């Protein structure tokens, strides 16, 4: 699909009526000091495994994602009994140890760029306090999905968002998910 058509694909969703979505968030989690730790396929696999784990444990429903070289974006809804803070902490904790091991074994990353000033750790993998914004309406969900899916295009990694392997874009284009943890968001009728 040509790049310009992505906006058309989501513009239909944007015109729909409003329904309130509780505990649904757009989250950006960034690697400490903007280091490109998520550049390798192995690093991206670590993130995917963490998302699979959270989904399998019924802690979260994930509607959209992209894994970039130094950050991730998610649209996710907390399951009943879960809080954003607890689930975010689990995602970052679950992925930190294998990412730290990958960083220490890397030929292209300097461990000095990950040194923490905190007393409870030597290295800091994720920037503290990921940015999370409540997403409560269809229009905002569609806008955030579009933003997530266009991230690899804006970064000049691909020319078409559906070509990027580490994103939900291709799943939405096909109308079926390629990831066990991904649930495709569908506008709910009032």
Per residue in 126-185, pLDDT (tens digit) is 999 999 999 988 889 999 999 999 999 999 999 999 999 999 999 999 999 999 999 998
pLDDT for position 136:
86
Assess if residue 181 is contained within a domain. Answer: no
| Integer Cα distance of 154 and 159 in angstroms | 9
Domain that holds residue 62: 3-174
21 domain residue, yes or no: yes
Half-sphere exposure of 23 (CA within 13 A, CB side): 16
Task: Tell me the β-bridge partners of 33.
Answer: none
Six-digit token pair at 152? 């690899």
Burial grade of 74 (CB within 10 A; 0-12, 13-18, 19 or more): buried
pLDDT given at position 183: 95
> Following DSSP, what letter does each residue of the chain receive, concatenated?
--HHHHHHHHHHHHTSPP---TTEEEEEEEBGGG--GGGSHHHHHHHHHHHHHHHHTTSEEEEEEEE-SSEEEEEEEEPTT--HHHHHHHHHHHHHHHHHHHHHH-SS--GGGGB--STT-SB--BPSS-EEEE--SHHHHHHHHHHHHHHHHHTTS-SSGGG-SSBSHHHHHHTS-SSTTB----PPP-
Task: State the pLDDT at residue 12.
Answer: 39
From CA 122, how far away is CA 160, in angstroms rounded? Answer: 39
Residue 183 lies in a domain: no
Tokens of 117: 């000033």
Residue 187 placed within a domain: no
Residues forming a β-bridge with 61: 77
- The token duo for 7 is 């906006």
Residue 13 has pLDDT above 90, yes or no: no
Beta carbons of 25 and 134 less than 8 angstroms apart = yes
- Neighbour count for residue 154 (Cβ, 10 Å): 10
pLDDT confidence bin for 187, thresholds 50/70/90: low
Distance CA 185, CA 178 (A): 14
> The CATH number of the domain where 83 resides is what?
3.30.70.1290
Domain count, the chain: 1
């Amino acid at each position: 699909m040509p790049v310009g058509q992505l906006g058309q694909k989501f513009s239909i969703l944007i015109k729909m009526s409003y329904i309130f979505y509780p505990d649904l968030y757009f989250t950006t989690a960034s690697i400490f000091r903007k280091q490109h730790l998520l550049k390798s396929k192995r690093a991206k696999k670590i993130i995917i495994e963490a998302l699979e784990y959270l989904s399998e444990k019924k802690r979260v429903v994930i509607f959209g994602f992209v894994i970039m070289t130094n950050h991730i974006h998610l649209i996710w809804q907390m399951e009943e009994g879960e809080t954003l803070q607890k689930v975010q902490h689990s995602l970052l904790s679950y992925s930190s140890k294998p990412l730290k091991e990958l960083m220490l074994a890397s030929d292209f990353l300097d461990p000095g760029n990950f040194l923490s000033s905190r007393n409870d750790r030597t290295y800091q993998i994720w920037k503290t306090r990921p940015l999370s914004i409540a997403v409560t309406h269809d229009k905002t969900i569609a806008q955030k999905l579009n933003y997530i899916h266009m991230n690899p295009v804006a970064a000049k990694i691909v020319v078409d968002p559906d070509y990027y392997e580490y994103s939900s874009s291709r799943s939405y284009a096909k109308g079926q998910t390629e990831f066990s943890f991904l649930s495709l968001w569908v506008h709910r009728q009032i």
